[in-house]
């Protein structure tokens, strides 16, 4: 079987490379299955403390492979909701729930679900030449993979609406100016920069980072009161972590902390 996802674990970082370069790493069912297996490992393996997602070849991910969806004009309408329900929604939920940082290193074009998937990662770093293409509306479709939830939150309603309705492409630099992504770097620097960041995060207090991520994600739908309660609860749990103790001891002893992630 072809490895449609290349998985590599080193220094606490799991690097997942979407690997269908001849199809700009667009998703088919098999690629979804393989990605789900890798994420299962990322969830269970405590030595993995950061996830880095990137694409092989010149693209990041071109979304759904439309070759798998060629519609017979005389046949019955396809049920696209089924693949959203079976593949894309569980993927987005898993990445959002994963209690460790997820970095997207967007190395090339990110279109359709590939764009919304990338923008939804915790930290997004893009190569300068990259475009995010909200291609859905041009096919008569709706941004999926969390797109309609995510875009207004990262870009603001006005930009989200126009981007999604027009199906335009957005340059990495524009996305950064709008505050939608963390960083833009020269193409040649992308993997080095993203790898460095991932290795750094993998040495940090992972349990606490996981709580920060859950808290910020929960804030999107919470009231201030709910969020204050959540902060109390998460701080209570964080305060009991080994890493908090280590952090304080190291600070008092003026030495660099050695975080275990627990």
Partner 1 sequence: MSELLSVHHGRVLQLTLNRPQARNALNNALLTQLAEALEAAQQDDSVGAVVIVGTTRFFAAGADLQEMAEKDLAATLNDSRPRLWARIDAFSKPLIAAVNGYALGAGCELALLCDVVVAGDNASFGLPEITLGIMPGAGGTQRLIRCVGKSLAAQMILTGNAIDAKRAQQAGLVSEVYPSGLTLEYALALALRMVEHSPLALQAAKQALRQSQEVSLHAGLGLERQLFTLLSATDDRQEGIAAFLAKRKPEFKGR
Q: Which is nearer to partner 1, 182 or 234 (CB)?
A: 234
Q: Which of 44, 236, 254, 255 binds partner 1 (CB under 8 A)?
A: 236
What DSSP line would sit under 49-70, residue for residue? -EEEEEESTTEEE-SB-GGGGP
The answer to whether 237 contacts partner 1 (rule: CB under 8 A) is yes
Q: Which is nearer to partner 1, 228 or 237 (CB)?
A: 237
Contact pick of 149, 178, 234, 244 for partner 1 (by CB under 8 A) = 234
Q: Which of residues 191-230 bind partner 1 (CB under 8 A)?
A: 230
Q: Can you give 84-134 as a three-state secondary structure string?
A: HHHHHHHHHHHHHHCCCCEEEEECCEEECHHHHHHHCCCEEEEECCCEEEC
Does residue 242 bind partner 1 (CB under 8 A)? no
Let me know: does 104 contact 53? Beta carbons within 8 Å. yes
Site string for partner 1, 42-81 (x = CB under 8 A): ----------------------------------------
Binding piece for partner 1, criterion CB under 8 A, among 130-138, 179-187, 191-199, 234-242: 234-242
Per-residue CA distances from 52 to 13, 103, 118, 152 (Å): 7, 5, 11, 24
Quick check: helix, strand or coil at residue 33?
helix
CB of 211 to partner 1, least distance (A): 9
């Amino acid at each position: 079987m072809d490895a449609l996802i290349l998985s590599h674990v080193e220094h606490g970082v799991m690097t997942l490379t979407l690997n269908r370069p001849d199809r700009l790493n667009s998703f088919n069912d098999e690629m979804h299955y393989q990605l789900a297996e890798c994420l299962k490992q990322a969830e269970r393996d405590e030595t993995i403390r950061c996830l880095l997602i990137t694409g092989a070849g010149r693209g990041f991910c071109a979304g759904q492979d439309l070759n798998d969806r060629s519609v017979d004009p005389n046949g019955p309408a396809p049920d696209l909701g089924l693949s959203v329900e079976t593949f894309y929604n569980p993927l987005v939920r898993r990445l959002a729930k994963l209690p460790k940082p997820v970095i997207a290193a967007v190395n090339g074009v990110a279109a359709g679900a590939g764009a919304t998937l990338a923008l939804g990662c915790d930290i997004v770093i893009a190569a300068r030449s990259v475009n995010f293409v909200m291609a859905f509306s041009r096919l008569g479709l709706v941004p999926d993979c969390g797109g309609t939830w995510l875009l207004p939150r990262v870009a603001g309603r006005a930009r989200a609406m126009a981007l999604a309705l027009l199906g335009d492409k957005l340059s990495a630099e524009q996305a950064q100016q709008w505050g939608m992504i963390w960083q833009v770097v020269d193409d040649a620097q992308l993997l080095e920069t993203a790898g460095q960041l991932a290795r750094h995060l993998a040495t940090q207090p992972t349990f606490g980072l996981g709580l920060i991520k859950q808290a910020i994600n929960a804030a999107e739908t919470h009231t201030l009161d709910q969020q204050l309660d959540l902060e109390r609860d998460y701080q209570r749990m964080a305060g009991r972590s080994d890493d908090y103790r280590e952090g304080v001891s190291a600070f008092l002893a003026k030495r660099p902390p050695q975080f275990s992630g627990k």
